[in-house]
Amino acid sequence: MSGTLVLVRHGQSEWNLKNLFTGWKDPGLTEKGDQEARSAGRKLKERGFRFDIAFTSVLKRAQVTNDLILAELGQTGLETLRDQALNERDYGDLSGLNKDDARAKWGEEQVHVWRRSYDVPPPGGESLKDTGARVWPYYIRTIQPHVLRGESVLVAAHGNSLRSLVMVLDGLSADEIVKMEIGTGIPIIYKLNADSTVASKEVLEG
């Protein structure tokens, strides 16, 4: 019997609020982001979740989200592995820039391509394809074995690192994944089959 994989994008960060490209920069959560993370924990508690292990990135907005979720579940001491493989997409030269300022500098169309194409990276940064090239092997090697042993696994990470994972789990094309958004603080619950394919998916919105 295989287990359960729960993905949660971190709550709203200070730079999300300011409309800045964040990438590997390390701002904290806003008060709203804190509340979103706690809300995710409460939703999972209502479902009776108890996790066996958690994974997060090396960036504090994901780590704090992970910690707040586990606090709501009464699991503050749970083993948590942190790895930069789960970091947000590196936005390179765009990191720290206001998105409106970036459009003024490079043009609306070019910035849109960098943000929404699958395989065109911004200057000095990563595309979604590049992000997946580090997320997916880490998932296969380190996270998936826990799920296939029947454990319940929490992954608190970022919009693009999670999108690159969802792309493969859901069998989405490059065109489909670039249109997909993952909301902050909303748990996505996967049940896996013994052969690692997805048995079911549920998004705990509202």
The residue with tokens 């489909």 is 176
104 vs 106: CA distance, rounded Å: 6
Helix and strand totals (H; E) in the chain: 9, 6
- Maximal CA-CA distance, the chain: 53
Residues marked active site are found at 10, 88
- E-strand ranges in 32-127 read 53-56, 80-82
* CB 182 within 8 Å of CB 204: no
5-30 b/e with 16+ CB inside 10 Å = b?
A: bbbbbbbbbebbeeebbbbbbbbbbb
* CB 33 within 8 Å of CB 16: yes
